[in-house]
Amino acid sequence: MITTPVTADLVRGALELESTAQGLVPHRLPARARAQNPDPRLAMAEMQPSGVRLRFRTTARSIELETLPTKVEYPGAPPRPDGVYDLIVDGKLAGQATAPGGVRFADLPAHAKDVEIWLPHNEMTTVVALRTDAPVSPVPPRGRVWLHHGSSISQGSNAASPSGTWPALAAAAAGVELVNLGFSGNALLDPFTARALRDTPADLLSVKIGINVVNADVMRLRAFGPAVHGFLDTIREGHPSTPLLVVSPLYCPIHERTPGPGDFDHAALASGVVRFRATGDPAEVAAGKLTLEVIREALAGIVTQREDPQLQYLDGLALYGPEDYAELPLPDELHPDAAAHRRIASRFASLVLDA
């Protein structure tokens, strides 16, 4: 087997690669942003390589990827399953593996082929070594770069595998290069995230705003509007004329008219079921507390107010609305399941990326 150093020209979807004693750590936020982050949950999320994949061309019939996985478990919650690695060969899913079982793919076709190995979207991963039975070479970018920011739904919570998150599926359908800055629990209009978006080359940007602002209960309406304007202003410093899409929240009944904070449903958790609930008081909406309905109205007004010809608004209900919830309910009352990820991806691809 040939060991090939994993370098930046073999990696897609990461903003920075950190060399450590154990191996290479893909980061979805640069060092400057990480230094300004006080939240260990964001530190975890940005190291979970959602959308990060190795891509190369090879005639190899056997491929091995040695990694060091780190998973997080929550007290009282059921253990999380092992992270999945997806093998894509010439654009099609050709295999899956987990790190404990060994990330090894054998009996591949012998012809020259484009190979992608998608790293787990929900498990921190250190890449130790790439081994193949034939040489590998980098593959040029295949087209437009779509840079997306969002919450755990964008990171891929409840998706079946890393290439099955809705951003990954939408990017594949439209033939664009994905850079996914979806951070579980941390789409909070942080200035360092806006600067990361500003400084990352892209042909299309989208920012999905709302659910974490509500379920983290971090601000009221008075602060929300200026924070969104500031976030967009910062992005525009680096992308003055790039198409920029603001996406409002998907349908989520627990927070449509009830503010945060969100919390685990502890009665369900005691039975081994992960489910979320809203704990805020709807009566406080009149005093500026945020709900998803309030945020959709505010975002639509902000986009109109900015008079930016390359800025557009997409109502998240067009991607997943009440009718979709009736057919494909949120299994934990917060995150879509694998089938809903596919539906959201199909709609986003046709409404946005194909256009």
Angle at 159 between CA 158 and CA 163, to 5 degrees: 160
Mean pLDDT of 46-69: 97
Using N-to-C axis directions, what is the helix angle for 338-348 and 166-174, rounded to 10°?
40
Tell me how far CA of residue 50 lies from CA of 26, 80, 163, 164, 255, in angstroms: 10, 16, 9, 10, 25
* pLDDT of res. 80: 81
The more confident residue out of 104 and 78 is: 104
Secondary structure element (H or E) that encloses residue 207, with its range: strand 204-208
pLDDT band at 170 (very low <50, low <70, confident <90, very high): very high
pTM score of the predicted model: 0.96
DSSP codes joined into one string, 111-153: S-EEEEEEPPTTSEEEEEEEEESS-EE-----S-EEEEEE-HH
* pLDDT of res. 159: 97
* pLDDT of res. 133: 97
User: Do residues 151 and 183 make contact, with C-beta atoms less than 8 angstroms apart?
Assistant: yes
pLDDT band at 72 (very low <50, low <70, confident <90, very high): confident
Give bridge partners of residue 206 from the DSSP assignment.
Answer: 148, 245
Alpha-carbon gap, residue 41 to 259, rounded angstroms: 21
* pLDDT of res. 128: 95
Domains delineated in the chain? 2-137 (2.60.120.260), 145-353 (3.40.50.1110)
Mean pLDDT of 124-151: 95
| Four-CA torsion 253, 256, 260, 261, nearest 10 degrees | 20
pLDDT band at 98 (very low <50, low <70, confident <90, very high): very high
Grouping H, G, I as helix, E, B as strand and the rest as coil, residue 231 is helix
Residues 6+ apart with CB under 8 A from 276: 215, 254, 262, 263, 264, 265, 332, 333, 334
* pLDDT of res. 321: 98
User: Per-residue pLDDT for 311 more than 80?
Assistant: yes
Alpha-carbon gap, residue 54 to 33, rounded angstroms: 24
Give the closest residue to 148 by CA, choosing from 34, 15, 269. 15
User: Per-residue pLDDT for 75 more than 80?
Assistant: no
pLDDT band at 141 (very low <50, low <70, confident <90, very high): confident
User: Per-residue pLDDT for 8 more than 80?
Assistant: yes
User: Per-residue pLDDT for 42 more than 90?
Assistant: yes
Letter for the amino acid at 141?
P
Q: In the predicted model, what is the mean pLDDT of the chain? A: 96
pLDDT band at 127 (very low <50, low <70, confident <90, very high): very high
User: Per-residue pLDDT for 76 more than 80?
Assistant: no
For 252-303, the pLDDT digits (tens) are: 999 999 999 999 999 998 888 899 999 999 999 999 999 999 999 999 999 9
Q: How far is CA 219 from the centre of its chain?
A: 23
* pLDDT of res. 143: 84
For 171-195, the pLDDT digits (tens) are: 999 999 999 999 999 999 999 999 9
Alpha-carbon gap, residue 129 to 273, rounded angstroms: 37
User: Per-residue pLDDT for 100 more than 90?
Assistant: no
For 216-236, the pLDDT digits (tens) are: 999 999 999 999 999 999 999
Pair type for strands 145-150 and 204-208: parallel
